[in-house]
Amino acid sequence: MSATRAAAGSPVFASCAITGGMSVPGQSAAIPITPAQIVDSAVGAHAAGAAIVHLHVREPESGRPSSDLGLFREVIAGVGERCDAIVQPTSGGGVGMTIEERARVVTECRPEMATFNCGSFNFGIFGVRHRPEMAPWEIEYLEGTREYVFRNTFADTYRLSELFREAGTKPEYEVYDVGHLYNLAHLAERDLVDFPIHVQFVLGVLGANRAELHQLEHMLRTAEDLFGAEGMTWSAAGVGYPGQFHLAACALMLGGHVRVGLEDNLRVTLEKRAESNGELVEKAVGLAAMLDREWVGPEGAREILGLAER
């Protein structure tokens, strides 16, 4: 694989992960909590250039990650009224949610896209620094992940594949480690996958692969061997700072798309905490321009992802 293979002027889009299920509000005042805040932040991310807004919801009073369908409906409708971003709710959810609870947003809201997690692994956020702003439940949430397994068993993924098909929702396959690609190939062997697929390489979670160039290259090469370069589109999401922007730069260089957002990273530079999702998208837009990629919004992304003809 050539290390610099994105054609000059090739189109790139971004997804912005707005609020997250594996973070707590006390980590940053910029994390949107209520449906109105999540909608505002998603609309701001779209205005800054994001084609996809990846959404979780939180209990409005506490900020605890939630799977409440009413909250999802409010946020999805709110974003749809104000912009044409591709709305991509999570089916990953947060700590303590069952696969049934996590899947409900797909079956009930039938979104254009949703995330689809390709394997089980430890997902540790207990290393996050405790801050005075954090409520007792937040400390418990973080510390509890010493025992947390993010569950996505084979049976779960078989079922989820069927539910996505029934809903007409395009999965974004979240792969955190190379083995998750083999799990996805296994789903394809069972005829549970519709090609071309869209893969998100999520690197930097404690419990899975690190956000490093050679790991992205290895996973990309493996994915292309399994599915063919024509059989897939892909994006990279680095968790933490500077991982988010290092991975974005690698993806831009290698011909992929990018994901940024407060779900994965709270800093815009080493010295400055991000004040909004839009600020993180703006930085990605700047990086893309420096690397001669042509930025596209929701319509361009729909075209690339094959959503336009669905």
Residue 97: name its binding partner from Zn ion, ligand KMH, none (Cβ under 5 to 8 Å by kind). Answer: none
Strands 52-55 and 170-175: unpaired
Which of 157, 146, 148 lies closest to 179, judged by CA? 157
Tell me if 113 sits within 8 A of 88, measured CB to CB. yes
Nearer to ligand KMH, 102 or 302 (CB): 102
* Residue whose CB is nearest to ligand KMH in the complex, by number: 92
Residue 289 CB, nearest approach to ligand KMH (Å):
26
First-residue to last-residue Cα distance in the chain? 32
Residue 290 CB, nearest approach to ligand KMH (Å):
26
Phi/psi of residue 41, nearest 5 degrees: -70, -40
* Residues binding ligand KMH (CB under 6 A): 17, 20-22, 90-92, 115, 117, 174, 202, 205, 239, 263-264
Residue 74: name its binding partner from ligand KMH, Zn ion, none (Cβ under 5 to 8 Å by kind). Answer: none
CB count within 10 Å of CB 32 equals 25
Residue 47 CB, nearest approach to ligand KMH (Å):
22
Residue 275 CB, nearest approach to ligand KMH (Å):
21
Stretch that binds Zn ion, among 86-94, 179-187, 215-223, 291-299 (CB under 5 A): 86-94
Residue 2 CB, nearest approach to ligand KMH (Å):
29
> 41, 88, 90, 265: which one contacts Zn ion (CB under 5 A)?
90
Residue 234 CB, nearest approach to ligand KMH (Å):
15
Residue 183: name its binding partner from Zn ion, ligand KMH, none (Cβ under 5 to 8 Å by kind). Answer: none
Stretch that binds Zn ion, among 87-95, 194-202, 209-217, 291-299 (CB under 5 A): 87-95
Count of positions on this chain that bind Zn ion (CB under 5 A): 1
88 binds Zn ion (CB under 5 A): no
Nearer to ligand KMH, 17 or 103 (CB): 17
Residue 4 CB, nearest approach to Zn ion (Å):
30
Name the token pair of 16.
């912005």
Residue 67: name its binding partner from ligand KMH, Zn ion, none (Cβ under 5 to 8 Å by kind). Answer: none
Nearer to ligand KMH, 6 or 18 (CB): 18
Q: Which residues contact 61 (CB under 8 A, 6 or more apart)?
A: none
Binding residues vs Zn ion (CB under 5 A):
90
